A and B are shown apart, each in its own frame.
Chain A
Amino acid sequence: MSVPERFGFYLDPNRCIGCRSCVQACSECDTHKGHAMIHLDFVDRAHSIQTVPMVCMHCDSPTCAEVCPADAIKRTEDGVVQSARKPRCIACSNCVLACPFGVPKMNSSFDLMMKCDMCYDRSQAGKKPMCAAVCPSGALFFGTREEVASLRPRSRILDRFEFGAQTITTKVKLMVPRDSTELQVDVTGALEAVPEEDPFEEIALEGFL
């Protein structure tokens, strides 16, 4: 069994409201109950309410697998990068350090790397992964290309990411505004991004203070 080809996973951080439904639902998945594989972080809570959900992007050439000395990480034919195989994983954390998206987690209580596998048991059966099933903002979306085309007319897809000298293409697609001209996401460059406009700039403290 593999994830049916017509389905894709689409990520739109622009829609994310930081509710952590994805995290709470991930830990309810039958294969890793009690452990959330998805990441949900504030970018910089002091200065913004923005949050970003991070699932495994399922790279075409997964760095985690490339650096694994035990050959414990497999990418199945449908392009899903699986969690580490327990009999092989030596808990060295190479993958954790190497993944440019920061996805794999080392679970020291089992000496095992665990990561998002697109809810393989569910997605193989044509069901939505837990996170995308519950996401109330549509920041995480699992569906067909046709659905995406009809539901997201103002968005388009990017699946190339630049981390300094490394370029990565992924199975999971990032949604960006349709009128943007970027051909890839310059992740390291984005670290230099200009902060958002301050809507409170003109509001003075009350005179009594």
Chain B
Amino acid sequence: MSQTPQTPLEIQDRFGPHLNYAVGARLATEVEPERLVATHCCFCGQQCGVHLKVRHNQVIGFEPREDFPFNRGMLCPKGVKRYLQGAHPDRIQTALQRDPDAPGGFRPLPYSEAIRRVASEFDRIQSTFGPDAIGVLSGASLTTEKTYLMGKFARVCLKTRHIDYNGRLCMVSAAAANKMAFGIDRAANPWSDIPGAEVVWVSGANVAECAPITTNYIWQARENGGKVVVVDPRLTPLARTADLYLPIKPGRDLLLFHGVLHLMIQHDWLDHDFIRQHTVGFEALAEHVRPWTPARTAEATGLPEKKIRQAAELWGTARSSFLLHARGIEHSTHGVQNCLGAINMVLASGRIGRPHCGYATITGQANGQGGREHGQKADQLPGGRDLANPEHRAHVAKVWGVAPESLPPPGVDCYEMMRRVETGQIKGLLSICFNPKVSLPDSTFVARMLDKLEFFAAIDFFVSETAQHADVILPGSLHEEDEGTVTQVEGRVIKINQALDPPGEARQDWRIIQDLAQALGRPHGMTFHSPREIFDELRQASAGGVADYSGITYEKIEAQNGVFWPCPAEDHPGTPRLFEEGSWNPVAKGAGPFYFPDGKARFQAALYTPPAEEVDRDYPLMLTSGRVISHFLSGTQTRRIGPLVDQYPEPRLELHPRLAEKLGIEDGEWVSVESRRGLATLRAQVVTTIRPDTVFVPYHWGDRRSINRVTHAAQDPISKIPEYKVCAVRVRRASTEEREAAEADTRSSMQIGATRAAGETALGSGRLGQGVRPS
């Protein structure tokens, strides 16, 4: 039912992506803003502070915000140009209904009618097929208030078990590993512990492009005499000047961690006191890593033995350290095990819970942290509580004023939800803040599943590739059109401040959700008047849980420039550093610093399994995917911002010159990369900065250049994260037909927005006279 109504080009003409550039008040030099709004960037998990310049309900520019301690004014290009997502020609300002005869395949629909239509379809489907026949897909770029409301809406209003979120593609491996080893899922340290570390170890994180501000913390550590170790199949900007760079074979990170631990044991680079007092399971782990001699580790990881020994010595002999990892080790069918391997290295060193001694995953999405704590995840309730735990259900049910048994059981991950569309268990879908057609692996399957739905409603501010499949699109809000909290990479709860009102009939997302609940005739617990009211209920719901927000208020966030959870009381300042000696938590109750009844951390004998798909004669190369700095995730926003597209206009396939020569491919040439799932066509970039047995493609695009047509939907058995970081492919010169198709997609993705006056260049409007100052 929910098939895309028209050809991609017709949709594109009407709904974009079009490139938006600064015009009018945004370009004029004499225009003063009415006010500066102190808020944060909408993109990654670092949540840089920024001032938005506001005039006539439009953001006209930015000003560095030096008072926010995390970034002190620093921004990446996305933060600089983020404002161009507003006042955008592609912005949805009314509800839309699919209509094959309308331009672009959608016609405007009065908002109230759209809400009624969605409610009546959901009601029909649930009456016929049961409550679980509706699925909800949510996202980790929403404020924590919205993520809390989405979980409550699914469990209390829709009563469906089928809700999950796009953090499934991001943070879940690290989250699961952290819970298994520490009993809590949060960065163990504030970033201010990085500059004092003697060794900074970075595994599977392209910090410079995916967490740019973190670069300065790492360079500061080096300036203070620290050493930087980078493990990555690509020579990233951080790796270029790292003290030690280990160009690991994709998918083998756990074996390096095992190999390093093996050498730590052999050389007695261990903190025996810490291991004895604060951990359990070391003996079994020591036995488990015994086979991982340097020679065997080198063979398996594709690294020179010498570099493994150097890395182990640097790590083993350091007095202070900070280990960081990200999707590079987490996007794996053994992603949880990879993270456990990294944690084992940290625990064996005893360097955690103290100044300059830390560990963290670099959370990807804006609210990657907060968005995974308060109940939009398939198995979770607010406060980091478990949906399967009777005590946890009882606590939250009480706050929600419902019977514990009325709460549905845990559901399944978002990819499994797509499979349940295939089997007919899910017939209707509501999505918000999620673009699965671009971001899920093996995406042609995902597109087919969207088409198979009986009814699909999307809340969005642009018609994303996924929303193109919707029957009804409800006009949601941009980041700057609402207020609320977000928990950034360090576990610091910060405040997003509203700068604008939503345009036209667009609504703040939480209002749309509540309007749906009302129209369904199930308004219980969905009658909040403001994000603050939602937050106050969330505080109660989280009270006593591991992720305890009960002592956090909007005022305290403003006064302290952020509050680190846990914060269990209003007079509690928050907890920047976890696991400090003598610290109290609600699980250990004083028995020790870790979140288990005995207060001790768990070494886990992490089990290596090879990638789900190894190279073979037919598919002899490893494909790894990732990001570039000027785009974000599925590109719904950044592919619409002209200066960011100009910076990186189209996806490129990176390959080493030795491989290129073997394949007869030249720099800039169109190539097709093909797996057992599908094919993408894009241009080659021949560089010496990647392993010769591996090719890399960024994933921000949704058309015939989309690498997620090629990637593998194999998932980690615990976290259910897909294995984006390695699968088997072949690469060849593109056929004429493939090249022409990809060229057409490139052209259509580069159309300039209607608000841009004719004759303007990418440099500006030419009205510069006032800007040039006499000296």
Residues in chain A within 8 A of chain B (CB atoms): 14-21, 23-25, 27-28, 30-35, 45-51, 74, 76, 82-83, 85-87, 107, 109-110, 112, 114, 120-121, 128, 130, 133-138, 151-155, 196, 198-200, 202-206, 208-209
Question: Are the CB atoms of B223 and A136 closer together than 8 Å?
Answer: no
**B297 → A minimal CB distance (Å):** 15
Q: Which residues of B contact A87 (CB under 8 A)?
A: 774
Stretch of B239-247, B422-430, B551-559 on the interface side = B239-247
A136-B213, A206-B621 known; A30 vs B771 contact (CB < 8 Å): yes
Of the candidates A27, A49, A76, the one whose C-beta lies within 8 Å of that of B235 is A49
A33 touches B22 (CB 8 A): yes
Q: Which of B81, B644, B761 has the most CB of A within 10 A?
A: B81
B237 touches A49 (CB 8 A): yes
With both beta carbons as reference points, the residue of chain A lying nearest to B762 in the complex is identified as: A34
Taken together as a complex, chains A and B put the C-alpha atoms of A203 and B686 apart, in Å, by: 17
Q: Smallest CB-CB separation from A30: which chain B residue?
A: B29
A–B pairs, 6, beta carbons within 8 Å: A19-B77, A21-B80, A35-B763, A85-B774, A135-B74, A202-B304
Chain B nearest CB, measured from A135 CB (Å): 7
A137, B64: Cβ atoms under 8 Å?
A: no
A136 touches B75 (CB 8 A): yes
A208 near B240 with CB under 8 A, answer no
**Are the CB atoms of A203 and B302 closer together than 8 Å?**
yes
Residues of B within 8 A of A (CB): 22, 26-29, 61-62, 64, 66, 71, 73-77, 79-81, 208-209, 212-213, 215-216, 219-220, 222-225, 235-241, 245, 247, 302, 304, 615-617, 620-621, 629-630, 643-644, 647, 656-659, 662, 667, 685-693, 761, 763-766, 768-769, 771-775
A19 touches B212 (CB 8 A): yes
Neighbouring A residues of B656 by C-beta, 8 Å: 200
Bound: A127/B298 CA distance, A: 51
Chain A residue contacts of B644, Cβ below 8 A: 24
Q: Which residues of B contact A204 (CB under 8 A)?
A: 692-693
A112→B769 CA distance, assembly (Å): 10
* Complex: A202 Cα to B662 Cα, angstroms: 17
Contact of B215 among A23, A136, A196 (CB under 8 A): A136
Residues B236 and A34 in contact, CB atoms below 8 Å apart: no
| Residues of B contacting A109 in the complex (Cβ-Cβ under 8 angstroms) | 761, 763, 766
Nearest-CB residue, chain B, relative to A198: B688
In contact, B219 and A138 (Cβ under 8 angstroms)? yes
| 5 nearest CB pairs, A to B | A34-B764, A17-B208, A208-B620, A17-B237, A82-B775
Known: A18-B237, A134-B64, A137-B212. A32 touches B27 (CB 8 A): no
Given contacts A48-B689, A138-B216, contact A205 B27 (CB under 8 A): no
Q: Indicate if the CB atoms of A31 and B75 lie closer than 8 Å.
A: no
What are the residues of chain B within 8 A of A83 when measuring CB–CB?
772-773, 775
User: Would A20 and B629 count as touching, CB distance under 8 A?
Assistant: yes
CA distance A202 to B71 in the complex (A): 39
Q: Are B237 and A151 in contact (CB under 8 A)?
A: no
Q: With A49-B689, A200-B656 in contact, is A33–B28 under 8 Å at CB?
A: yes
Q: Which residues does chain A contribute within 8 Å of B763, judged by CB atoms?
A: 27, 34-35, 107, 109
Residue of B nearest to A153 (CB): B223
In angstroms, Cα B208 to Cα A49, docked, is: 11
A21 touches which of B77, B620, B772 (Cβ 8 Å)? B77
